[in-house]
Amino acid sequence: MIGAGIKRGTAELAILSVLEGGSLHGYEIAHRIERQTRGKLRFTLASLYPLLYRMEKKGFVRGAWEVSGNGRRRRCYRLTPTGKRKLLPLRQEWSELFQALQRLAKVADA
């Protein structure tokens, strides 16, 4: 299981990544992240929405009310151009970090 600190750091990346595929509402964002990470990253209502609102304030995502097929109103989030620009370097940073950690682990194992 991944620790809470790392999870916090990767949460933004996870949300930006799933929104890359199109707009989603909060529940779908949480569900998709959980499914795609095979349960390693899990968002609850309490952890998801404050983060989404912060990201919206920073201009990375934008939420708008939409009516779904079953007539329900849902607030759907989509990536903004700022969010798209943020995603690439963020991915790179985390990728470099994980590679560095893997190298470190291999050295320790050897």
Which residues here bind another protein, judged by CB under 8 A?
A: 25-27, 44-46, 48-51, 53-54, 57, 65, 72-75
Nearest to 25 by CA among 6, 5, 43: 43
Q: Which is nearer to another protein, 18 or 48 (by Cβ)?
A: 48
Nearest distance from C-beta of residue 51 to another protein, angstroms: 8
Nearest distance from C-beta of residue 4 to another protein, angstroms: 13
Residue 2: which residues within 8 A CB-CB, separation 6 or more?
10, 40, 41
Q: Which is nearer to another protein, 62 or 91 (by Cβ)?
A: 62
Nearest distance from C-beta of residue 91 to another protein, angstroms: 24
Q: Which is nearer to another protein, 74 or 86 (by Cβ)?
A: 74
Gap between the Cα atoms of 28 and 34, Å rounded: 10
CB 73 within 8 A of CB 27: no
Separation of first and last alpha carbons in the chain? 24
Nearest distance from C-beta of residue 57 to another protein, angstroms: 6
